[in-house]
């Protein structure tokens, strides 16, 4: 069987990714101070990399599958297939500038700097995303037409418009205004760090979360495709499992119909007679959000409620449809 090369993110997405892997496979090992990760499936070769690198490496075919943020897929414009939203690492990419500025958004700032012929400097890790966002601004088009903003890094300068510059940030981006740059484009979860640095959010550029991505050529390989969908099945099951609760409880036969009429389930509850005559065991899976509404009803007609969060819920028929598509 073909081995599948799987790139997982180091850094801010690392802890949540390991939790996901631990819910998806029965054994996940990582040796200290190494970037190699071992699953209980020898046909999956896992390596940790920076999330910024993963979309390009998957697109180039150096890895078949990867986990990275949607923000980095868009920043690198990588030709990969995002196959599953993993629903963690949720952030917003925003434009922010000092809260003492009177502008309400970046477009107003561009217009003012354009009128005054002042150089506008923006700091960001997201150079391509920042450039695209600027060029879509009405004021940018008015004052600079189709010129590309000047992208400034220690190694290279790209773009011809020196009046609007995007400076590569190596971190602590929120600390740079107003002395070093006029505005920033950076990620935030709550906006608290920006406020602490006396910055205000002017525009929301995009929202992002961790995604499972796949190399398009790998999906065309029948052997690799089969293994890739094994991975998708296990990971999707882990993501789905966090949204549900598995309930087991006992109920008298006289209350069974009443209970079943009120109890939600993933499909239909499983019922089985207990060794004690006149009693049934009921086994079901429900959405977490329904649990608090269900408890008051169960208290009145059931006994011995056992609750746990399922490790995985594998919707095998849905994966089969994905494979066929």
Domains plus CATH for the chain?
4-88+210-241 (3.40.190.10), 92-208 (3.40.190.10), 244-308 (3.30.70.120)
pLDDT band at residue 265, thresholds of 50, 70 and 90? confident
Q: Are strands 161-168 and 149-152 parallel, antiparallel or unpaired?
A: parallel
Bridge pairing between strands 199-208 and 91-98: antiparallel
Question: pLDDT digits over 268-298, tens only?
Answer: 899 999 999 999 999 999 999 999 999 998 9
263 pLDDT higher than 90: no
The two beta strands, 91-98 and 183-188, are: antiparallel
Q: What is the bridge-based pairing of β-strands 183-188 and 149-152?
A: unpaired
**Band of residue 97 on the pLDDT scale cut at 50, 70, 90:** very high
What is the rounded CA–CA span in Å between residue 142 and residue 274? Answer: 77
Is the pLDDT at 172 greater than 70? The verdict is yes
R_g of the chain computed on alpha carbons: 26
320 C-beta neighbours (distance < 10 Å), count:
11
Element (H, E) at 169: none
pLDDT at 267: 79
Most confidently predicted of 31-40, 119-128, 315-324: 119-128
Q: Is the pTM of this model over 0.85?
A: yes
**Does position 8 have pLDDT exceeding 90, yes or no?**
yes
Please tell me whether residue 167 adopts helix, strand or coil conformation.
Answer: strand
Query: What Cα–Cα distance (Å) separates residue 130 from each residue in 37, 198, 203?
Result: 34, 21, 12
Distance CA(61)–CA(238), nearest Å, equals 26
DSSP 51: T
pLDDT in tens, 23-82: 999 999 988 788 999 999 999 999 999 999 999 999 999 999 999 999 999 999 999 999
Mean pLDDT of 117-143: 97
Distance of CA 221 to the CA centre of its chain: 26
**Residue range 202-220, pLDDT digits in tens:** 999 999 999 999 999 999 9
């Amino acid at each position: 069987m073909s081995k599948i090369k799987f790139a997982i993110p180091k850094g801010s997405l690392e802890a949540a990714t390991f939790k996901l892997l631990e819910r998806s496979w029965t054994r996940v090992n990582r040796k200290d101070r190494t970037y190699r990760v071992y699953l209980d499936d020898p046909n999956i070769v896992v390596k940790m990399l920076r999330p910024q690198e993963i979309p390009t490496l998957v697109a180039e075919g150096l890895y078949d599958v990867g986990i990275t943020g949607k923000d980095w897929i868009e920043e690198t414009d990588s030709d990969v297939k995002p196959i599953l939203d993993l629903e963690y690492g949720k952030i917003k990419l925003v434009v922010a500038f000092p809260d003492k500025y009177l502008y309400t958004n970046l477009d107003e700032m561009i217009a003012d700097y354009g009128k005054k012929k002042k150089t506008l400097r923006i700091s960001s890790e997201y150079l391509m995303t920042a450039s695209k966002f600027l060029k879509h601004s009405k004021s940018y088009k008015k004052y600079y037409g189709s010129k590309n903003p000047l992208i400034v890094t220690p190694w290279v300068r790209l773009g011809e418009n020196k009046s609007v510059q995007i400076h590569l940030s190596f971190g602590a981006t929120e600390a740079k205004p107003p002395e070093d740059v006029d505005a920033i484009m950076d990620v935030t979860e709550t906006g608290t760090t920006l406020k602490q640095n006396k910055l205000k959010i002017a525009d929301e550029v995009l929202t992002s979360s961790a995604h499972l991505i796949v190399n398009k050529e790998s999906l065309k390989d029948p052997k690799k495709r089969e293994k890739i969908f094994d991975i998708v099945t296990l990971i999707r099951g882990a993501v789905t499992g966090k949204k549900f609760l598995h309930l087991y409880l006992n109920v008298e036969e006289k209350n069974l119909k009443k209970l079943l009429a009120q109890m939600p389930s993933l499909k239909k509850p499983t019922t089985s007679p207990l060794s004690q005559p006149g009693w049934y065991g009921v086994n079901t899976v429900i959405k977490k959000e329904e649990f608090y509404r269900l408890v008051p009803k169960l208290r009145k007609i059931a006994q011995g409620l056992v609750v746990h969060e399922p490790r995985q819920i594998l919707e095998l028929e849905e994966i089969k449809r994905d494979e066929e598509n």
